[in-house]
Amino acid sequence: MQQAREFQHLLDAVGQRVLNGGDLSFEEALVLIGVEERADILDLLARANRIREHFKGNKIHLCSIINAKAGACPEDCKFCAQSAAYETASPRHALIEPEAVLRAATEAKANHAQALAIVAAWRGIGEGPRLDEICRCIEQLARSGTVRADASLGIIESQRVADRLKAAGVVCYNHNLETARDHFPNICTTHTYDDRVRTVRYLKNAGIRVCCGGIFGMGETRRHRVEMAFALKELDVDIVPMNFLNPIPGTPFERMPPLPPLEILKTIAVYRFVLPRKEILVAGGREVNLRDLQPMMFLAGASATMIGNYLTTTGQDPKKDLQMIQDLGLDPDWDGHWEHDPRETEAVISASV
Ligand code: SF4
């Protein structure tokens, strides 16, 4: 009882502080993520919901992705169905034509998505014909004015590459830290956490919005989860995608035990406390891990989600997602301050030719 009172006292104090624009400390985040009592967890979610409402209102940011180049990736990320190192049933194909991207953009728009990210399974992107080809595709998407042109093309090899992507019309680029620095070598050995941080810095220097988060349920500790939240805070990223491992047969993580739904919701809530003004986007794995508790991701502080299919797995029917959002009294028509503005994109492209 005494412990419960102390937790309530802390929750009141830190909740009010964050609402007033203050910060949660690392130690406080560890206390919040360590809470075990069901009633306390639900109180934590309610506080996180208040913080979301305060900073994000009732708007929900939706985005979509297209797997523009699938499979046969030379990297060895242990969660990934697209690594050439593992035998999986995931599709493999070369870079798709711009027309297919434009069709996906139309579908994304019909699903109320504000953005379509062109995603490619490869290590990353440097200068050369591949960059030229992808930039042409991005330009077509950006000029179409359908949805915001986003991308996720792996490690960016130089500042010039990031600048080229910006000039082509990329508004937001996804590149995750994936997990905490200390845990990263258990996830991947073919590139480093610092490779990923460097890419984020190139993007920021280029003026591209950064979508950067990770995957939970990969054997990390709660402390690792908090460490990643603070690393993202320090990098000052714009969108924080939170994926929850959906173990893929054939990958080294195929038998990783799933995170319980309340643990997932608690983690989302702590991220809202640490990153109160950011878009917190629940992405891959929500359907299989949260199941019927999916609506609670917004009540735990999420302000965004992916709609449509994922890279190698199927998402929930977009109509069901939109219904879920509306049933919660939330609004899927996001009008964030950096929403895609076709005139701005046109100006950037024109200035670069
Ligand atoms: S770099 Fe990307 S596509 Fe390649 S194995 Fe890692 S997560 Fe998968």
Ligand 1 atom nearest residue 80's Cα: 8
pLDDT band for position 163 (cuts 50, 70, 90): very high
pLDDT band for position 308 (cuts 50, 70, 90): confident
- The whole-number average pLDDT for the span 332-353 is 52
Topology of 53-352 in CATH?
A: TIM Barrel (3.20.20)
Above 80 in pLDDT, residue 132? yes
pLDDT above 90 as % of the chain: 71
CA of 321 to the centre of ligand 1 (A): 27
Tokens 């359908």, residue? 146
Tokens 């994304």, residue? 108
Among the ranges given (21-25, 110-114, 208-212), the one the predictor scored with the smallest mean pLDDT: 110-114
Taking only the tens place, the pLDDT of each residue in 213-270 is 999 999 999 999 999 999 999 999 999 999 999 999 999 999 999 999 999 999 999 9
Taking only the tens place, the pLDDT of each residue in 278-297 is 999 999 899 999 999 999 99
pLDDT band for position 353 (cuts 50, 70, 90): very low
Q: What is the pLDDT of residue 311?
A: 63
Q: What is the pLDDT of residue 343?
A: 44
Q: Which of 82, 179, 312 to probe ligand 1 with, by most ligand atoms within 8 A of CB?
A: 82
Contact 300, 48 (CB under 8 A): yes
The distance between the two most distant Cα atoms of the chain, rounded to a whole number of Å, is: 67
Q: Which of 67, 77, 118, 188 to probe ligand 1 with, by most ligand atoms within 8 A of CB?
A: 77
- The whole-number average pLDDT for the span 316-335 is 85
Q: Residues 223, 224, 230, CA angle at the centre, nearest 5°?
A: 90
* Distances, alpha carbon 335 to alpha carbons 13, 19, 51, 95, 305, in Å: 31, 22, 19, 31, 15
Tell me the one-letter amino acid at 78: K
Contact 251, 81 (CB under 8 A): yes
Ligand 1 atom nearest residue 124's Cα: 1
Sign of the C-alpha dihedral, residues 164, 166, 169, 175? positive
Q: What is the dihedral of CA 74, 80, 84, 87, to 10 degrees?
A: 170
Ligand 1 lined by 67 (C-beta under 6 Å): no
Number of H helices, E strands in the chain: 13, 11
> In the chain, which ranges are E strands?
61-69, 115-120, 124-125, 148-152, 155-156, 172-174, 209-211, 214-216, 239-244, 279-282, 304-306
Taking only the tens place, the pLDDT of each residue in 169-206 is 999 999 999 999 999 999 999 999 999 999 999 999 99
First to last CA, the chain: 67
Q: How many CB atoms lie within 10 A of CB 163?
A: 17
- The whole-number average pLDDT for the span 51-76 is 91
Q: Residues 107, 113, 117, CA angle at the centre, nearest 5°?
A: 80
Q: Which of 65, 67, 78, 80 to probe ligand 1 with, by most ligand atoms within 8 A of CB?
A: 80
DSSP notation for 11-71: HHHHHHHHHTT----HHHHHHHHT---HHHHHHHHHHHHHHHHHHHTTB-EEEEEEEEEBS
Q: What is the pTM of this model?
A: 0.91
Q: What is the pLDDT of residue 90?
A: 86
